[in-house]
Amino acid sequence: MIQPPNTNASLAQRDLAVLWHPCTQMKDHEQIPMIPIKSGQGVWLEDFDGNRYLDAISSWWVNLFGHANPVINAALKDQLDTLEHVIFAGFSHESGIKLAEKLVEITPAGLGRCFFADNGSAAVEVALKMSFHYWRNCGQSQKTKFITLENSYHGETLGALAVGNVALYKETYAPLLMEVITVPGPDCYFREAGESWAAYSSRRFALLEAVLQQQADSVCAVIVEPLVQCAGGMRMYDAVYLSLLRKACDRYGVHLIADEIAVGFGRTGTLFACEQAGISPDFLCLSKGLTGGYLPLSAVLTTDTIYQAFYADYTKLSAFLHSHSYTGNALACRAALATIGIFQQENIISQNQRLIALLAKLSVRFESHPHIAEVRQTGMILAIELVKDKATREPFAWQERRGLKVYQFALTQGVLLRPLGNVIYFMPPVVITAAELEWLAEVAWQGINHAVKN
By C-beta, is 376 or 405 nearer to ligand PMP? Answer: 376
Query: Applying CB under 6 A, which of residues 42, 120, 292, 379 lies at the interface with ligand PMP?
Result: 120
The answer to whether 329 contacts ligand PMP (rule: CB under 6 A) is: no
Q: Which of 163, 186, 160, 175 is nearest to 243 (CA)?
A: 186
Query: Applying CB under 6 A, which of residues 40, 66, 96, 155 lies at the interface with ligand PMP?
Result: 155
The answer to whether 95 contacts ligand PMP (rule: CB under 6 A) is: no
The answer to whether 117 contacts ligand PMP (rule: CB under 6 A) is: no
By C-beta, is 231 or 355 nearer to ligand PMP? Answer: 231
Q: How far apart are CA 186 and CA 205, in angstroms?
A: 7
C-beta of 209: minimal distance to ligand PMP in Å? 23
The answer to whether 261 contacts ligand PMP (rule: CB under 6 A) is: yes
The answer to whether 294 contacts ligand PMP (rule: CB under 6 A) is: no
By C-beta, is 147 or 451 nearer to ligand PMP? Answer: 147
The answer to whether 259 contacts ligand PMP (rule: CB under 6 A) is: yes
Q: How far apart are CA 212 and CA 231, in angstroms?
A: 25
The answer to whether 154 contacts ligand PMP (rule: CB under 6 A) is: yes
Whether 444 contacts 417, CB under 8 Å: yes
Query: Applying CB under 6 A, which of residues 216, 230, 300, 348 lies at the interface with ligand PMP?
Result: 230
The answer to whether 153 contacts ligand PMP (rule: CB under 6 A) is: yes
Query: Applying CB under 6 A, which of residues 124, 128, 336, 415 lies at the interface with ligand PMP?
Result: 124
Taking the mean position of all CA atoms in its chain, how far away is CA 291? Answer: 13
C-beta of 225: minimal distance to ligand PMP in Å? 5
C-beta of 124: minimal distance to ligand PMP in Å? 6
Piece of the chain touching ligand PMP by CB under 6 A; list 118-126, 141-149, 317-325, 391-399: 118-126
The answer to whether 378 contacts ligand PMP (rule: CB under 6 A) is: no
Residues in contact with ligand PMP by CB under 6 A are 119-121, 124, 153-155, 225, 230-231, 259, 261-262, 287
